[in-house]
Amino acid sequence: MGRFELADRGTIFLDEIGELPPEAQVKLLRVLQEREFDRVGGAAPIRVDVRVIAASNRDLTKAVAEKTFREDLYYRLNVFPVHLPPLRNRPDDIPLLVHFLVNKFALQIGKHLDGVSQETMRRLQEYPWPGNVRELENVLERAVILTTGPMLEIAADLLPAPATEPSGDLLKPESSERLSDLNGLGKTPLTEAPPSNVGSSGPETLESVERDYILSILHRTNWVINGPRGAAKILGLHPNTLRNRMRKLGVSRE
């Protein structure tokens, strides 16, 4: 049984829908339009009733214009988009996320923590979180592992102060997160705008800022791309997407 057959009369979540190859887009379009599919080796179509929630970190309207994503599939999916601003634009959500994630990791590791210090919470709310919630999760997991006292403290090397505040409009096409219900789709960017460099002469291009930020993350992970602590995880990108972006920006390890 395939995923859609298992999800009959239920919900299926299609993550990274923008990475779907063209041949799979055709098959997905048929399932959404006709509500049926052919099982591999089957003799008759199988009908299903499935609610679809889909997400992508790509600008799908741009992908449609570039002919890498089917227009008919995009409009079939883009029925009820839900926009989620980047984490830096909703600092009031950070304490809720911090307490949830700290309790989760403490339970997994077997530690008892009384809470998070006020100074740590202040720093977490002031940090711009270019990697969004996935970066927050990564930082908190490391902090819970390393902490030895009853209160969670984030050391400076785990959460360095940003050199400058990133522009809220930087990478605007990817500045919102969308989940769509009832066969809907939107954009779910997991990588937000990188901070601008300090001391540069003249305005920087978007590509140069993006390149510098990717390089900083790669240096931080010792050029590890895959894995739970790799650069792709921190940036919220599929590893292949990150590699393609590195090639486009001319990022390579000397």
- Number of separate domains in the chain: 3
What integer pLDDT is reported at residue 190 of this predicted model? 36
Do 249 and 200 fall into the same domain?
Answer: yes
Spatial separation of the C-alpha atoms in residues 136 and 93, rounded to whole Å: 12
DSSP letter at 107 equals H
67 shares a domain with 106 = no
Rg (CA), the chain: 21
pLDDT at 198: 42
Residue with tokens 């799908």: 60
| Domain-embedded: residue 251 | yes
- Going by the DSSP 8-state scheme, the letter that residue 116 receives in this structure is E
Q: What is the CATH number of the domain that holds 120?
A: 1.10.8.60
Q: How far apart are CA 77 and CA 182, in angstroms?
A: 8
Mean pLDDT per block of 10 residues along the chain (254 residues) reads 82 89 87 80 81 86 90 88 84 92 89 87 88 89 87 75 44 36 37 40 65 87 86 84 84 80
User: Do residues 57 and 92 both lie within one domain?
Assistant: no
208/253 same-domain check: yes
Residue 180 lies in a domain: no
pLDDT of residue 101: 93
Query: What is residue 149's DSSP assignment?
Result: S
pLDDT at 160: 57
Cβ burial of 97 (10 Å; 0-12, 13-18, 19+) is middle
pTM over 0.75: no
Chosen domain end from 40, 62, 84: 84
Q: Which of 98, 131, 152 is the last residue of a domain?
A: 152
Instruction: Specify burial of residue 18 (Cβ count, 10 A radius: 0-12, 13-18, 19+).
Output: buried
77 and 97 together in one domain: no
Domain span holding position 118: 87-152
Instruction: Identify whether residues 206 and 253 lie together within a single domain.
Output: yes
pLDDT of residue 161: 55
Q: Which of 84, 103, 122 is the last residue of a domain?
A: 84
Q: Which residues contact 77 (CB under 8 A, 6 or more apart)?
A: 17, 32, 52, 54, 180, 183, 184, 185
Main-chain dihedrals φ then ψ at residue 65, nearest 5 degrees: -65, -35
